[in-house]
Amino acid sequence: MFQKNKQSFSQDEARIYSRSEHHIQTDDIHKNAIKVLTRLVEAGYEAYLVGGGVRDLLLGKHPKDFDVSTNATPEEVKKLFRNCRLIGRRFRLAHIYFHGSTIEVSTFRAAPNEHLESGMIRRDNVFGSIHDDAFRRDLTINALYYDIKHESIIDFTGGMEDLDNGIARIIGDPEKRFYEDPVRMLRVVRFAAKLDLEIEANTQAALYELGYLLDPISPSRLFDEVLKLFHGGAAEETFEQLCRYNLLKEILPLTNESLINNEARIMSLIRPGLQDTDKRVRSGKTIAIPFLFALLLWHAVKIQQKNMRDESMSHTQSFVIACREVLKAQVRRTTIPRQLQFAIREIWLIQQQLEKRRPKRIYSTLKRPRFRAGFDLLALRARSGENVDELVNWWADVQQASDQERHGMVKSLYKPRK
C-alpha cells in the first residue's frame, strides 16, 4: 500500500526543525517508544513520535503517554510486534504492551469519506499520508512529529510557532472542524486551560456559537470528556472557560442553571473545591470522581429540594428525592456508572448526618466509606459562607480525639431529660 524507505511529503509541505532548533533529546523519550519507533523505521516504514508527547517535551514537561504515527497498517504493525493487540472499530489502533507501559501506534489518517447531514464524521477509518494525518488532527500544537532518525521536528500546521506564542488554534476552519466532531470544542478548552494558552480569535468565535452541536453526542462519550476536563490539573480554569464559552450548559446543565441567579454564592463553593482538586493533581494524588460530581451538583440538589417541598413531605424525604432527581437528570447528559452514582448520593446523604449530629449515629457515620469526602464537602460549604463552621470544627475534633475524648464529645450531645 505504501512505499517504504521514502518520506511521503516534500520539503515545501512542512517546516522541518533540525536538531539545533529544538531542545528534545532522545534520552527524554521513553525507552519503549524508542523501541517501537526504531523497529518500524528499520522495517522500512515511516514512524514518528506525535501529538501530546512531542508537545509536552517541547514545553519541558514529562509526558505520561508517548504515541506513534506510521504509514504501516495496523496489520503490518502487528506482524512486527508479538506484544501487539489491535483495538477500535471507528479507527483501528495498535497497542503495543510492555511491562508497565503501553505504546499506541496509529496509521496515518486521511480526510473521512463519509459524513452525516449535520457534517459529523460517520466513518473515520481512512488511511493516508503524514500530510493528511497532520491536517486531520485537532490543534496545531498537537500536530507536531518527531523524527527519531534525523532528530528533527516536522511541522505542517504552524504548531511550533503557536506553541512559542502560547496559542491554541484549531487546524483549518474551526466551524467546519467543530461540525465534524463537536467534542473538539471541549478539547480546545481543556488544552487551553491546562497549558495556559490563549484561544485564537476564529476558534473563540466558533466556540461561542456552536455549543449546541454537543447535544447529540452520546452521554458515555461526554462522561469520558468530563473526566478529562477536570483531571488535568487545571480544573478551576477549565470550569471558568466552560462558563465563558457557554459550554457548561451542554455537559452540566443543572450546574449551569443554578449559576444563573446565584453565581457569586455558588462559585464560592465550587472554586475552592476545584482549586483543591488541582492541588491534588499537581502533588500526584488521585482524584475522587464521585466527590467532583457531588461538588458540582450540590447546589442543584438544594434548589431541587426547595422547589419540591410541601407540608406533606419531611425535610429528609425531600432531600432524598432531590438527590435522586438531580442524578437522574445528569445521567441523561453524561453517563455515570451506577457504582459512582451510589457514591455521589452517599456524599450528599452524609451531609444530613453531619448536620444533625445524632449521638447514636456518630460512630456509624465516622465509619461510612464516603465519610471523608462528605466531611470535605461540609468544609467547603463553610468556606463558601454557609453557617456550618461549628459543625466543621466539631467533626474535625471528633476525628482526632482519643477514644475517651470522643466518648465525652458524643455524650455531650445528649439532651438532658426534663
* Catalytic annotation present for 196: no
d(CA 383, CA 1): 62
Check 28, 56, 65, 181 and give the catalytic one.
65
Residues 222 and 278: beta-carbon distance below 8 Å: no
* Catalytic annotation present for 65: yes
Residue with cell 488521585: 286
d(CA 154, CA 107): 17
Residue type, 205: A
Q: How far is CA 384 from CA 73, 237, 263, in A?
A: 55, 19, 12
Helices (H) and strands (E) in the chain — how many of each? 19, 12
Give the three-class secondary structure for 342. helix
d(CA 61, CA 387): 43
d(CA 189, CA 184): 9
Check 67, 155, 162, 376 and give the catalytic one.
67
Residues 305 and 322: beta-carbon distance below 8 Å: yes
Measuring CA to CA, which residue among 59, 27, 40, 77 is closest to residue 144?
59
Measuring CA to CA, which residue among 286, 290, 277, 288 is closest to residue 340?
290
* Catalytic annotation present for 138: yes
Which residues, including other chains, have CB under 8 Å from residue 404's CB and lie 6 or more apart?
A: none
Which residues, including other chains, have CB under 8 Å from residue 142's CB and lie 6 or more apart?
A: 51, 52, 55, 159, 191
Which H or E run includes 147? strand 144-147
Q: How far is CA 45 from CA 72, 88, 92, 104, in A?
A: 6, 22, 18, 16
Check 138, 147, 276, 376 and give the catalytic one.
138
Residue 339 grid coordinates? 457504582
Question: 37: exposed, middle or buried (C-beta count within 10 Å: 0-12, 13-18, 19+)?
Answer: buried
d(CA 94, CA 254): 39
d(CA 132, CA 321): 52
Kindly provide the b/e burial profile for residues 106-115, where b requires at least 16 CB atoms within 10 angstroms of the residue's own CB.
Answer: bbbbbebeee
Known catalytic residues are 65, 67, 138
